[in-house]
């Protein structure tokens, strides 16, 4: 979740540095976080041997992306 928070913050800061409006910066921040959450879920469910044990640890990020 730290990675997702950093990605969201980075998207927001980069958008503001490019002088985009506040609403666009927020949208970019949310899209960045959602895409990284999806990547994290794919990695968890495809590369861990027993994903059922790790399901609860990724569910807050998964719920965020909905």
Instruction: Encode 12-38: b = buried (16+ Cβ within 10 Å), e = exposed.
Output: beebeeeeeeeeebeebbeebbbebbe
Write the CB contacts of 10 (distance below 8 Å, at least 6 apart in sequence). 32
Pair of tokens at residue 39: 């990547």
pTM score > 0.85 for this model?
A: no
Q: What is the pLDDT along the chain (66 residues), one digit of tens a residue?
A: 677 788 889 999 999 999 999 999 999 988 887 776 777 777 778 876 654 555 555 555 555 554
Query: What's residue 7's pLDDT?
Result: 86
């Amino acid at each position: 979740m730290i990675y997702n928070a950093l990605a969201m913050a980075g998207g927001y800061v980069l958008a503001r540095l490019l002088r985009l409006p506040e609403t666009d910066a927020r949208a970019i921040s949310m899209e960045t976080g959602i895409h990284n959450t999806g990547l994290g879920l794919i990695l968890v469910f495809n590369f861990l041997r027993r994903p059922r044990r790790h399901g609860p640890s990724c569910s807050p990020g998964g719920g965020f992306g909905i």
